[in-house]
Amino acid sequence: MKWKEILSYKDMIGYIARKYSGDPDLAEDVAQEVMLRLFEDKKLKTSNFDPNKKDAAIRQTIRNKVIKVLRSRKVGRWDMDSLDRLKEEGYQIDTSGSLVQDPNFIKSRSNFDSEDHDDR
């Protein structure tokens, strides 16, 4: 991407970095690193994107770069490796990024607990 085009997406990069990092100072560092990675990525040719889907494609590219930077630093709002463990324990991340109990997990777990398990 050209630097001028990257700058036009600066607010979006900052928003996505804040959303995934959960820390304003970290988000600022991540946003700067993402901007540099977008500039250095010679394979990324936004002119080849479908004009009707260009913004969505760039947003997805930015999101992927933010997650990649956070993984490389092993920081962020959620430890990426622990998301599977959270699911196994009956939790999920909702659309706002909050940790909530999975209602399906609770229902299946309560059915198990309510059965008569007499070990005598």
Torsion of CA 61, 97, 104, 60, to 10 degrees: -10
Structural contact between residues 105 and 90, judged by C-beta atoms closer than 8 angstroms: yes
Q: How many domains does the chain have?
A: 2
CA dihedral (19, 24, 30, 33) positive or negative:
positive
46 and 103 co-located in one domain? no
Instruction: List 99's β-bridge partners, or say none.
Output: 93
- pTM, entire model: 0.57
Indicate whether 47 and 64 sit together in one domain.
Answer: yes
Same domain, 98 and 50: no
120 assigned to some structural domain: no
- Provide the pLDDT for residue 10: 92
Domain that holds residue 104: 82-114
12 and 56 both lie in a single domain: yes
pLDDT, position 56:
86
Same domain, residue pair 69 and 86: no
Q: Tens digit of pLDDT for each residue in 22-81? A: 888 888 988 898 889 888 888 888 888 888 888 888 888 888 888 888 887 765 555 555
Same domain, yes or no: 86 and 67: no
